[in-house]
Structure 1
Amino acid sequence: MHLREDERIHIADRLREKASIRTIAAELGRSPSTISREVQRNRTVLHGYNNRWYYRPHAAQRRADARRPRPKTGKIGGNPRLRDYIQDRLERRWSPEQIANQLRRDFPDDLEMHVVHETIYQALYVQGRGVLRRELVRCLRTGRARRKPHRQATSRQKRFAAPMILISERPAEADDRVVPGHWEGDLIVGAAHKSAIGTLVERSTRFTMLVHLPDGHRAEQFQRLLTDTMRPLPPQLRRSLTWDQGNEMAGHAAFALGADMPVYFCDPASPWQRGSNENTNGLLRQYFPKHTDLSRYSRERLDEVAAELNGRPRKTLGWDTPAERMHALLATTRQ
């Protein structure tokens, strides 16, 4: 039986944690040869490094889907029992997401009765997959006869004078945290949006740096202070910076030139594209509560807080601390 996308995500997570192929296979109830073949077949080798590679689960899923013969009957269309179950819940005004989760509760050991909510939407809307009764779309909360397309980032009005480079163009090596030097950044904002602290997290080590903004976060000031923060790092630790489309980054072109570090922008309303930074900002709110004046915190206090966060052991780092990982990288660059 083919690997599912959630299994590929599990493989990617455990590979990052240095689990063995046999351990991963046992956890998934699969043969070790199946897992080994999957990794060999769908991994991506870093350009110029024959022995350096990473495994991206969603890319692996796309490759696997592309290799399968088409056309074929969808999962819902080929399983009358599943189709009837879904149609019954749709008639009772259940959402596709509610149905998908209830299927796993009602049939925990029957994988043929498991689908994700997007599969249900496609069975309703996508031409050629409309295996559910078309009139059931009226039972959805929106009741739309068609899915409303999301506005594409490329169709938005220009936000900055200098063109933005979107995250889709960021090097693939940054996605799986294999190569250090890729950072995520944001602001945590104080009362009435009048004060802020810049937050920076390195993706592979989770190392945190804080940017002191005593005079506010207007674009020109922010660009200068951000450059001063990042420029002292060695080139190997200045590979990229990912930010949201906030006004404080209007000077991104000047920063990229001054720090010799490209900037990539997240898609609108997509905080998960800076997941490490979002998580760190949540931790920082323990020290810098919302709706307070953040300008009253000194440079020394920001350094103390960053040192405390960087000194915490992290499960995702094998219980190393971010500080230990960063010090090891800096020692390597000096050799």
Structure 2
Amino acid sequence: MTYTHLTTEELVMIEAYFHQKISVLKIATYIGRSRQTIHNVVTFLRKGYTALDYFKQYKENKKRCGRHPITLPNDQQEYIQKMVAQGWTPDVIIGRAERFIACSSRTLYRQFKQGLFDQTTLPMKGKRKPNGHKEKRGKQAFKRNISERLTDYPQFEDEFGHLEGDTIVGIHHKSAVITLVERISKAIITLKPNGRKAQDVEEAINNWFQC
């Protein structure tokens, strides 16, 4: 449950009620605050302070609120820089857990964005796509929607010859391999297209089927 801090207007009202000798219970009822909140302010006023002093103290205490920024040790920073140079991303570094890193992948991405690490060394050069982004490149005209499979092939789970394809992209996106897996036998077919464009992938698959 969230808590709304007292405003300056409420503090002035509490001070005015306090000088009128109104009880804590009635002040809490008038302002619509809990008795403990009003009691804290009244206790502070009884020591000879004012509502302005209470507000100044609140502002000073608020500076110490929140989580302190995470500073990774030098050995962990060196390890992260080394792995990123090999093509690893922050989520892979944290997910593989080959070495303890004292932060989450989101925090590590945030440190790259803040400039604690060079984000241009990341595979995507720090240019992450926004939430809800839809990739429009590389759309293949010959592909079919997987939702159509059950309608066109009701027995596909028991029939031999149904392939499921995927791609494996090499380091720095310099190469790619197509993988086709047969559902029944689990046989894996790998194809290497001449390039990474949609027509290159289509040509590699068509050549294999013609063999």
Normalised TM-score (structure 2): 0.31
Structure of higher CA gyration radius: 2
Answer 1 or 2: higher relative contact order, Cα 8 Å, separation at least 6. 1
Normalised TM-score (structure 1): 0.20
